[in-house]
Chain A
């Protein structure tokens, strides 16, 4: 068994802090601020197949490079998309942080996300395993890859006006 990496490792702590900050930006729908957390070639993906890492070769719910992510943020913020204008309010907690690997330039962090979305009298529950690959540099920590694996990714979920 490999040695357990403590979450108190200062490099891991930077990654955890970023993931928490990211979660709050998404709950606040501060999407322009959220976009700045990604590296230039960062990928944001919500796969349908929980077991795949071949996102390009699979159909996903979201598979965003920087270009798609910028278009998505324009859609979420410019006021023409019915679903975004009247989106559910969300509150999420990200916890159960487990570092998968750590170096001075990169942390791969696994976690659990529980999100409650409230809209017009209905509370929807969204549970997911997250993986963040976070690049560390003197300028700051940035997300190179975020994978959201919903517990029910291969079944029906509500059409969403927010981001996971």
Chain B
């Protein structure tokens, strides 16, 4: 494949993709420039940058960035790289600062990325304009508390890019039970496989009872029953456009405001109900406790974030065969009386997620196996055709099929093809 060639059309067809999409380093390099340096990429949740001066260091594709909230409250995303000799400015994952000073020669920058100070400036007389050496900035926009950045100055607005996914972001945030959502902590783990294997997984209902059998066996009957969507015809996946999709595993929890009061709260949360009832009224308690497992869907936003039931899954490609995943725990941002809710949500999160969860290591083993197996028979396709014959448009016009079908993967690969083929 030459530098500027499009990816051949048959690499990603409507029902299959070429296995070399997982294994070819040239395709990976091209994805970094064509997708991760052009698309809107999720960088933070606003609760991580609640106060002026808050910052978070992260990545857009492989490039290190700092996300900040300046004194006026504006969010910025900037390359984490001094304009002088390229040193990283910030090695803390998060914190509060007035600005960033390079450790090497002490060039200092404001929270908005402007170059403020250079020591011993006389050597730069006549050769340097401070105004031209701000940190390189990415466009930064947010919707529903989700902060995204893009290298592409000409990209459509974030809201246009999200399109119909916005409705589902609104619904997702209802799990605060009337309170905003905040980040509670995160698990981070690596697997030896291509990033798209993980991209597929949060819209893969088909693997759930097989890979997660040991988790299902360990939870209470009510939770196991809630996740028994394999033969539930109302459990469906929609393709939402621009590579986004939503998989409704528990459709009765898709819109948490819809509640006729008949669904009993899970017995495992009785102690939480008892505690909350000391200060909150019955309706408030019900709202918060009914949302304990999050929403009933996984919303997959191309290319790097999924809003998955009760957490965010964030992927970061490292190389063609290595990917870093964050599982970000979230909960209601309310008065201290809600601490018991967030403790319970963290226990639920620990039970499934993270490098020692009852779910994640089994997923990771499955993905490792895909990466290893995909080297066999390079001309054999990866199939994403499940449910193709039963896929129909929903009343909203969204291509829709059963939750175990591969509608969401087809949506992501259509967007992949569009971005990779576009010179």
A72 lies within 8 A of chain B by Cβ: yes
A48 lies within 8 A of chain B by Cβ: yes
A59-B346, A157-B355, A159-B361 known; A75+B189 contact, CB < 8 A: no
* Whole-angstrom CA separation of A122 from B365 in the bound complex: 14
B191 lies within 8 A of chain A by Cβ: yes
Q: Is the CB of A59 within 8 A of B355?
A: no
Shortest Cβ gap from A147 to chain B (Å): 14
B213 lies within 8 A of chain A by Cβ: yes
Q: Is the CB of B361 within 8 A of A83?
A: yes
Q: Is the CB of B362 within 8 A of A59?
A: no
* Whole-angstrom CA separation of A63 from B366 in the bound complex: 25
* Whole-angstrom CA separation of A102 from B61 in the bound complex: 51
* Chain A positions 140 through 163: 1 when the CB is less than 8 Å from some CB of chain B, otherwise 0: 000000000000001111111101
Q: Is the CB of A82 within 8 A of B366?
A: yes
Secondary structure at the B interface, as helix, strand, loop or mixed, is helix
A138 lies within 8 A of chain B by Cβ: no
Count A/B pairs, Cβ under 8 Å: 98
A62-B350, A159-B355 known; A56+B343 contact, CB < 8 A: yes
Shortest Cβ gap from B335 to chain A (Å): 15
Report A-chain residues with C-beta under 8 Å of the C-beta of B360: 159
B83 lies within 8 A of chain A by Cβ: no
Report B-chain residues with C-beta under 8 Å of the C-beta of A80: 213-214, 217
* Whole-angstrom CA separation of A64 from B381 in the bound complex: 42
Q: Is the CB of B355 within 8 A of A158?
A: yes
The residue in chain B whose Cβ has the minimal distance to the Cβ of A81 is B214
Range of interface residues on chain A? 20 to 34
Range of interface residues on chain B? 35 or more
A128 lies within 8 A of chain B by Cβ: no
A61 lies within 8 A of chain B by Cβ: yes
B339 lies within 8 A of chain A by Cβ: yes
Interface-facing stretch out of B13-21, B179-187, B300-308: B179-187
Q: Is the CB of B217 within 8 A of A74?
A: yes
Report B-chain residues with C-beta under 8 Å of the C-beta of A62: 350, 356
Shortest Cβ gap from B327 to chain A (Å): 9
Shortest Cβ gap from B122 to chain A (Å): 42
A60-B350, A159-B189 known; A46+B356 contact, CB < 8 A: yes
On B, residues with C-beta under 8 Å from A are 93, 184-192, 211, 213-215, 217-218, 324-325, 329, 339, 343, 346-347, 349-351, 354-356, 358, 360-366, 368, 372
Listed from nearest, the 4 A-B pairs whose CB atoms lie closest are: A59-B185, A83-B361, A159-B364, A156-B188
6 A-B pairs (CB sep. < 8 Å): A58-B185, A61-B187, A80-B217, A83-B364, A84-B361, A155-B188
